[in-house]
Chains A and B, each alone.
Chain A
Amino acid sequence: MNDKAGSVHKEKIYGPSDYKMDFPLPSCPGCGSPSACKIIVEALEELGLIQNSVVVIGVGCAGMGFFGTKMDMAMCAHGPSPSVAAGIKHANYDDVTVFTVQGDGDCAAIGAGYLINSAARGDKITIFMFNNTNYGTTGGQMAPTTLLGQVTTTTPQGRDGMAQGYPLHVPEILATMKGVAYSARGSIHNFAHYQRTKKYVKSALQKQTAGIGLSFVEILTACPVNWRMEPIKAIRWIEEEVTVEYPLGEFKNAD
């Protein structure tokens, strides 16, 4: 479009967030975590919440997509992010949006006690758990979410339920709890699911703003390196195997 002076007027339709700095991404090629982080940043921007938000990153690959984001951030130990987030919320007398970004091991193994009790209290925070069915950071060991039969470095014969336990369905469990306002599982293996997951992320953040209770979204993410798969195959594996064990959708949406 040409304006009066004849210079070109440009309008941004889509591109990197203004809140992202030029910063090297620490993740592996094909990793799903940075895209899942991007969804959260987009949702915060579209809801007009980003300037009034604090993110708490767990220990692991999951939250690394937030490195280099112009936001207030905290990172504590492996597991306690819900308690840290609730502490930040109380310090600000609730006048802030606080959410965690945690891996499945961080959130549902070492952090399970923090998670369940935060949910039971109905802490007014949002938890984003990235499920890549293994411990990415430490080199691909079994996580609580590892599929039955899945080979990891600590289940070299494939996960056997009788020996190593069964996959944990976190949003389904949280949906049974009174303190939880919202619980969903999304995936980002294609654009339709990316958009649907973004809707879940927005709903979860809005539940927090409304002060109804704890909100939770699990996002299925690819870990091609530890899965020993090409990125394209990893995405196909999510669609064909992971979503079978972990159905997508909303499990609770309370007003």
Chain B
Amino acid sequence: MDEKLFIHGYEAVGRGALNAGCLHFFGYPITPQNEITEFFARELPQRGGRFVQVESEASSASFVFGAAAGGVRVMTSTASPGWGLMQEILSHIAFCELPCVVVNVQRGGPGQGTTRHAQTDYLSATRGGGHGGYKSIVLAPSSVQECHDLMQLAFYLADKYRILTVVLADGILIQIAEYIDVKPIDFGPVPPKDWALKGIGKKEGRFDFIQSTRGLMPPIYKTIVEQLHEKYGKIAESETRVKTYQADDAELLLISYGYVARCCEEAVNMARGEGLKVGMIQPITLWPFPYETLEQKASQGCRFLVVEDSMGQLVEDVRLAVEDKKRVALLGMSSRHLAGELGMIFPETIFEEVKKLI
């Protein structure tokens, strides 16, 4: 598959996964991501893969646990309330260090919230949404192309580090269509899954116990938790990714991700059109978060406007990076153009805020 296509975000997610060699998908319907689940229902059987519509997101996460333990590339996709329901099992996946990918197409929360877009699961995704204190790699696409490419990166990173990788999208990204390059990306080799569960007859007698009560027997609990966090440290050191736009000489930097980053890009263009020194920094990995990049910019005297479609979650990370909290402003959900579920934060609104700040 190497072609230029005009496709929706949901199809880009699907084709990205196929290009990563993922042939296992287990899911449960929820808006606004149903098209992703339906894509796999259509595509996987024809490719010899496995698709099962299960009875809940707790179950889809459990199927993912099993298939990841079986050694294949596997994923599921959901939207916010389903993301919530998965957290129990995702914590077990984290402790068992099973490589897999979960797409969360964010919709408005809390509760059933809305069936449209929002960015209200940032903290839940970046802090390890379930119990016990763990980390997942969190990737944030802001275009249909990135939906496709970051899916492939997600599988690579999951296998490289034996970790859950979350692709945190939103209802807008998944529903828009753009021209993109559809092709497999080679990130390099990943470690062999010689630990996969398939019966000892296929493993020359080697037996593995993938278990969520690790630590009862040696290596004991504290050692395992420390090793896990050592791994998180390594990931933070080497896998932090950002995108910058007009950032070199910028006095004010817009910080955003997902669909909102597209609106910010537009706002930067408006500002530059009037000679204002405005740029943007867009984290591609929400965890690990690019604290150092922001710290550096802060030390050069930059100010920051965080734009996000929530009441303020991403802004917490920016405030962690920037010592002088007065230099960080927030434009959040209250600035949507409509009060109802269709409301969005438009470039014009962002530009107005920029003019007030600069």
Contact = CB atoms under 8 A, between A and B. Distances in A.
Interface of A: 51-54, 56-57, 59, 69-77, 80, 83-93, 96-97, 113-114, 117, 121
Contact of B210 (A75, A85, A86, A89): A75
A121 B208 CA distance: 28
Contacts of B198: 54, 72, 91-92, 96
B52 A84 contact: no
A80 B199 contact: no
B62 A83 contact: yes
Interface string B52-65: 10111011001111
9 contacts: A52-B199, A59-B212, A70-B207, A74-B210, A77-B62, A80-B62, A88-B70, A114-B62, A117-B55
Interface in B197-218: 197-203, 205, 207-213
Given A54-B197, A72-B203, A73-B210, 18 more contacts: A51-B201, A70-B205, A71-B200, A72-B197, A72-B208, A73-B211, A74-B69, A75-B210, A75-B211, A76-B92, A80-B65, A87-B62, A87-B66, A90-B66, A91-B196, A91-B197, A114-B58, A117-B55
**Most interface-central of A51, A74, A85, A93 (chain B CB within 10 A):** A74
B197 A84 contact: no
Contacts of B62: 76-77, 80, 83-84, 87, 114
B63 to A, nearest CB: 4
Given A77-B89, A84-B62, A91 B69 contact: yes
Given A70-B200, A72-B208, A77 B74 contact: no
B15 interface: no
B184 interface: no
A62 to B, nearest CB: 14
A91 B72 contact: yes
A84 B55 contact: no
Contact of B24 (A73, A90, A121): A90
Contacts of B96: 76
A74 B197 contact: yes
Given A73-B210, A87-B63, A87-B66, A96 B199 contact: yes
Contacts of A56: 66
Given A85-B66, A87-B67, A91-B24, A71 B212 contact: no
Contacts of A70: 200, 205, 207
Contact of B70 (A69, A75, A92): A92
A73 B208 contact: yes
Contacts of B205: 70
A69 B203 CA distance: 15
A73 B202 CA distance: 14
A176 to B, nearest CB: 18
Nearest to B48: A93
A203 B60 CA distance: 29
B213 A52 contact: no
Given A51-B201, A77-B92, A71 B69 contact: no
Contact of B56 (A59, A75, A113): A113
Question: Which 7 pairs show the lowest CB-CB distances between chains A and B?
Answer: A87-B66, A91-B70, A51-B201, A83-B62, A80-B62, A117-B55, A75-B211
A90 B71 CA distance: 10
Contacts of A76: 62, 65-66, 89, 92, 96, 212
B231 interface: no
A91 B199 contact: no
Interface in B257-290: none
Contacts of A121: 52
A90 B59 contact: no
B26 interface: yes
